[in-house]
């Protein structure tokens, strides 16, 4: 851009090579860094016969555009961010464009000439001309135009692979159909997609292009719905472990983050530069939501999680977690960390908590013998006649977990199941299997490996994933008694239990 006073990259370049830096917009200190904020125009010096000096920068830009339009130096235009270079790639792999050039003019291939199949090649080396590697394969590039009989040349750029993924959901409906993209009856039965779960990054690539693709297919009469997806849920990303940073001044003394401008890492009062260094968690104590040095509890440190990346060295290898705690503990921890849509920091101790929960479930269902075998716990039996309290606990859990799972509130659904297991662990005497089998079904979408084992130990055949989802019975949730807390002078004095049947 060649505006070093108002573009940081240009400023750094000009500073490095001792080039002049001329202020054009007031408001900053260009001796220190580029200024890209609002201000007044200076040093315009009547360029283009326009007097812009002293004018607000935004107003000056508009006047300059009007002048360009009036003098023919430029014209108003709208620029879209859907750039061709995002879609047209100079590489071998990818979907080929069904285009040929006849006498330099492009022609779309007829349907009878499709599909265009990439050739088998021995090398993917670049062409050396900036063209796709396909441009070097004359036997594929040089063709005869069916309309005119003239020599023609294929388009050698390719689409970016996700061009095919833009409509994959339609092909899933009818994957073996060699005649049409998707059978009309199948499409009308299955579309639109009820729920799409994906990362935020999909919103500007896959979802955007999928809608373009789908709307074109709708206009062509291939699909019956204007929109491909009814509901979108963006899951939050998982950040790395919390990193703790303490800041020191030039004398090597710690300075509390309360006194620091963390953006430019300077002391607010003096502007003195401070320097961050990593602090071990064991050297910190927590007060509320903040962390302080144990050696100096007045010094607050910065606690921040960053996106996982190899450069920061904070990537968590899922294989290592699975090896130590199991796949069920890992997948359930990812759900238990918090609401699905939120960004959440990773903590290994959280996985350990889920692992302990599964161990507790295992101990309730099994009883290991001296040889290390784990047969079904002899406390589990049939025809025990569960108590009203036991049935209420089970059916309350079924109702809650069902509702929360449908709402994709997986963290609170897991919490409800943990609460039920804690209740079961307190029951004395035999436990009827009717109180445990429905729980295994509830847990199965969350912890499939563990629940398949438990389902088999309960003497069932087949997979628990194919068992109908349990339904709660409202009769078991009816309350016979209501407990009231009576307060005197703001303190609970005693509890009053009233029969629900009494008015």
Distances (CA, A) of 398 to 77, 241, 323, 361, 447: 59, 34, 31, 17, 16
Q: Taking a C-beta distance cutoff of 8 angstroms, is the pair 242, 305 a contact?
A: yes
* 490 alpha-carbon distance from chain centroid: 47
Q: What mean pLDDT do residues 125-150 have?
A: 87
pLDDT band at 81 (very low <50, low <70, confident <90, very high): low
Residue 260, SS3 per DSSP: strand
With cut-offs at 50, 70 and 90, classify the pLDDT of residue 134: confident
**Cα–Cα distance, 333 to 418 (Å, whole number):** 13
Burial of 144 (0-12, 13-18, 19+ CB in 10 A): exposed
Mean pLDDT of the chain: 89
Beta bridge partners of 40: 56
Quote the percentage of the chain above a pLDDT of 70: 97
**pLDDT (0 to 100) of residue 347:** 87
Average pLDDT of span 176-202: 90
What is the reported pLDDT for 503? 58
State how far the Cα of 94 lies from the Cα of 250, in Å rounded to an integer.
55
Q: Of 189, 182, 93, 162, which is closest to residue 134 (Cα–Cα)? A: 93
Given a cut of 90, whether residue 362 has pLDDT beyond it is yes
Q: pLDDT band for position 198 (50/70/90)?
A: confident
Tens-place pLDDT, residues 243-300: 899 999 988 999 999 999 888 889 888 889 999 999 998 999 999 989 999 999 999 9
Label residue 303 left, alpha or beta by phi (over 0 means left) and psi (-120 to 50 means alpha).
beta
Gap between the Cα atoms of 34 and 114, Å rounded = 55
Q: Using one digit for the tens of pLDDT, what is the confidence trace for 372-386?
A: 788 999 999 888 889
d(Cα 343, Cα 337) in Å, to the nearest integer? 10
Q: What is the pLDDT, as a whole number, of residue 109?
A: 95
Closest CA to 233 of 402, 400, 408: 408
Q: Which residues, in sequence order, are bridge partners of residue 238? A: 344
Is residue 82 pLDDT above 60, yes or no?
no
Angle at 469 between CA 467 and CA 473, to 5 degrees: 130
Residue 76: its pLDDT value, please?
81
Nearest to 155 by CA among 109, 205, 223, 221: 109
Q: Rounded to a whole number, what is the distance in angstroms from the first to the last CA of the chain?
A: 81
Phi-psi map region of 245: left, alpha, beta (phi>0 left; psi -120 to 50 alpha): beta
What does pTM read for this prediction?
0.66
Q: What is the pLDDT of residues 428-480, one digit of tens each?
A: 989 999 999 999 999 999 999 999 999 999 999 999 999 999 999 998 888 77
Look at residue 355 in the predicted model and tell me its pLDDT. 95
């Amino acid at each position: 851009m060649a505006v070093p006073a108002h573009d940081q990259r240009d400023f750094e370049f000009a500073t490095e090579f001792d080039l002049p830096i001329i202020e054009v917009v007031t408001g900053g200190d260009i001796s220190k860094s580029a200024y890209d904020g609002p201000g007044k125009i200076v040093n315009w010096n009547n360029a283009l016969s326009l007097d812009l000096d002293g004018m607000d920068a935004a107003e000056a830009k508009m006047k300059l555009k009007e002048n360009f339009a009036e003098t023919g130096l430029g014209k108003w235009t709208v620029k879209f961010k859907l750039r061709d270079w995002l879609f047209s790639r100079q590489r071998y792999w990818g979907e080929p464009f069904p285009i040929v050039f006849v006498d330099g003019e492009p022609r779309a291939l007829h349907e009878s000439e499709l599909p265009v199949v990439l050739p088998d090649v021995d090398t993917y080396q670049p062409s050396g001309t900036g063209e796709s590697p396909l441009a070097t394969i004359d036997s594929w590039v040089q063709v005869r135009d069916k309309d005119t009989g003239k020599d023609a040349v294929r388009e050698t750029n390719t689409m970016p692979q996700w061009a095919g993924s833009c409509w994959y959901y339609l092909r899933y409906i009818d994957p073996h159909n060699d005649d049409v993209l998707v059978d009309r009856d199948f499409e009308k039965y299955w579309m639109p997609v009820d729920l799409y779960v994906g990362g935020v990054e999909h919103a500007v690539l896959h979802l955007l292009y999928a809608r373009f693709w789908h709307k074109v297919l709708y206009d062509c009469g291939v699909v019956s719905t204007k929109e491909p997806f009814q509901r979108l849920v963006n899951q939050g990303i998982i950040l790395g472990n919390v990193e703790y940073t303490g800041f020191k001044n030039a004398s090597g003394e710690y300075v509390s983050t309360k006194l620091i401008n963390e953006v430019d890492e300077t002391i607010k009062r003096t502007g003195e530069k401070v320097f961050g260094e990593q602090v071990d968690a064991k050297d910190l104590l927590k007060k509320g939501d903040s962390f302080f040095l144990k050696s100096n509890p007045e010094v607050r440190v910065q606690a921040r999680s960053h996106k996982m990346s190899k450069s920061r060295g904070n990537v968590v290898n899922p294989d290592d977690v699975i090896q130590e705690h199991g796949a069920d503990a890992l997948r359930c921890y990812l759900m238990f960390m918090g609401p699905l849509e939120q960004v959440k920091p990773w903590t290994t101790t959280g996985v350990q908590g889920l692992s302990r929960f599964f161990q507790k479930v295992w101990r309730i269902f099994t009883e290991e013998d001296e040889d290390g075998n784990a047969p079904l716990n002899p406390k589990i039996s049939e025809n025990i006649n569960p108590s009203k309290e036991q049935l209420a606990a089970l059916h309350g859990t079924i109702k809650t977990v069902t509702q929360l799972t449908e709402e994709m509130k997986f963290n609170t659904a897991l919490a409800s199941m943990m609460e039920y297991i804690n209740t079961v662990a307190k029951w004395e005497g035999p436990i009827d299997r009717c109180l445990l089998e429905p729980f295994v079904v509830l847990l199965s979408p969350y912890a499939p490996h563990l629940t398949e084992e438990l389902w088999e130990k309960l003497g069932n055949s087949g997979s628990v994933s194919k068992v109908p989802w349990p339904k709660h019975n409202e009769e078991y949730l009816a309350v016979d008694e209501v407990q009231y807390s009576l307060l005197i002078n703001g303190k609970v004095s005693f509890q009053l239990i009233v029969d629900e049947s009494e008015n």
